[in-house]
Chains A and B, each alone.
Chain A
Amino acid sequence: MVAFDSLNAFMSMNGYGLYVWTAWGVITGLCVAQVIMARLEHRRIVQRIRRQIRREQQL
């Protein structure tokens, strides 16, 4: 059973929207940021090792 009468009531959380969405937003954002940073980290490390290999091959 949906706990809200309308989409409007859901979005506003019956008056608690600001608090509920802020809390959810902050924590979701923190988690998403960690995952994105992990992906960037992988790319950075692989690129660095590739550069290293190329440099050594040129020697």
Chain B
Amino acid sequence: MWQWIHKWGSPRVFYRFSLRVTPWLWCAAALLLGIGAVWGLAFAPPDYQQHDSFRIIYVHVPSAMLAESCFALLAVCGAIFLVWKIKLADMVARVAAPFGASMTFGALVSGAVWGIPTWGTWWVWDARLTSMLILLFLYMGVMALRYAFDRPDSGGRAAAVLALVGVVNLPIIKYSVDWWNTLHQKSSFSLTQAPSMPASMWVPLLLMMLGSYLLFAALVLTRTRHEILRRESRSRWVRALIAPDAGSSDTGV
């Protein structure tokens, strides 16, 4: 077990692994999102109540799910970094945060735009909307804390603590539609029940959700690689990777 953690916590091993899998992830993400987008926009039947405005669901739900999953990832990475001091976890947390923040923003904007034709208003202080807004502020706090310290490690630890504290917001977001009965509709999609929509409606949603998770994975793995290069820029293997001929020079470095 310890050997396993040590091996995968090694930036060099992770770099090689990431380099091998990301091309496949990018391709699979593009494929799923492409099919899901065309299907959702042009082929899925219109909703009987919301007509064609319901097509916002195909970007709104995936972005909201990513916003929450990404924050959970920040918390898990934060815990790993705080307890075992594995730097790789901190790198993943650093590169994942901006994407999670932008997806939270995207979910809020697409929800607001969806609210105009559906609820007649772009914003209400509904529990789901408010808890998502808090999530956006938490992301901003996590990102700001990282740069509020002179030593990068202290910033990383502070960001990790806020991510761990902020994770209590996730169940609040999830159950907000059940606990407070306000405007936002309840979840129409769950792992345990058969969907109430026809397959021609939920299959593209499933494709968009899977595709966006793959995009998230590809982006985080790619940017973690960049972060490894940045932090290990003085190590010999990074030097050899970037300038293979420089190592054989007679300067002795």
Q: In this assembly, does B9 line the interface, its C-beta being within 8 Å of a C-beta of chain A? A: no
The answer to whether B51 and A14 have CB atoms under 8 Å apart is: yes
- Residues B117 and A19 in contact, CB atoms below 8 Å apart: yes
- Which residue of the partner chain, among B44, B113, B116, B246, contacts A57 with CB atoms under 8 Å? B246
Query: A49 contacts which of B58, B63, B106, B242 (Cβ < 8 Å)?
Result: B242
Q: Among A26, A42, A45, A59, which residue has its beta carbon within 8 angstroms of that of B110?
A: A26
Q: Which residues of B contact A50 (CB under 8 A)?
A: 242-243
Q: Is the CB of A22 within 8 A of B53?
A: no
Q: Does B215 contact A (CB under 8 A)?
A: yes
Point out the residue from B43, B98, B110 that lies within 8 Å of A3, measured CB to CB. B43
Interface of A is mostly: helix
Residues of A within 8 Å of B117, CB to CB, are: 16, 19
* Nearest CB in chain A: distance from B243 CB, A: 5
Which residues does chain A contribute within 8 Å of B35, judged by CB atoms? none
Interface centre among A14, A35, A59, by most chain B C-beta atoms within 10 angstroms, is A35
Knowing A23-B114, A34-B219, A50-B243, the reply to whether A4 touches B42 (Cβ < 8 A) is yes
A53 close to B41 (CB less than 8 A): no
* Interface hit among B149-157, B164-172, B226-234: B226-234
Contact bitstring A38-53, B, C-beta under 8 A = 1, else 0: 1001100110111011
Minimum CB–CB distance for B109 against chain A, Å: 5
Query: Is B251 an interface residue when CB atoms closer than 8 A count as contact?
Result: yes
- Shortest Cβ distance from A16 into chain B, in angstroms? 4
B146 contacts partner chain A, Cβ-Cβ < 8 Å: no
Report the interface size class on chain A: 35 or more
Asked if A27 and B63 make an inter-chain contact with CB atoms under 8 angstroms apart, the answer reads: yes
Given A3-B42, A34-B219, are A16 and B52 neighbors across the interface (CB < 8 Å)? yes
Known interface pairs A3-B42, A30-B102, A56-B251. Does A13 touch B53 (Cβ–Cβ under 8 Å)? yes
- B249 touching A48, Cβ below 8 Å: no
Q: Which residues on A sit within 8 Å (CB–CB) of B128? A: none
Excluding A19-B113, A33-B102, A34-B98, 18 further A-B contacts by CB distance (< 8 Å) are: A2-B42, A3-B52, A14-B52, A16-B51, A19-B116, A22-B109, A23-B113, A24-B37, A27-B109, A30-B106, A41-B223, A41-B226, A42-B222, A45-B233, A48-B233, A49-B229, A49-B239, A50-B243
Name 21 interchain pairs, CB-CB below 8 A, sorted by A: A2-B42, A13-B52, A14-B46, A16-B55, A19-B113, A19-B114, A20-B55, A23-B56, A23-B59, A26-B113, A27-B59, A27-B109, A27-B110, A30-B105, A31-B102, A34-B102, A38-B226, A42-B222, A49-B238, A53-B246, A57-B246
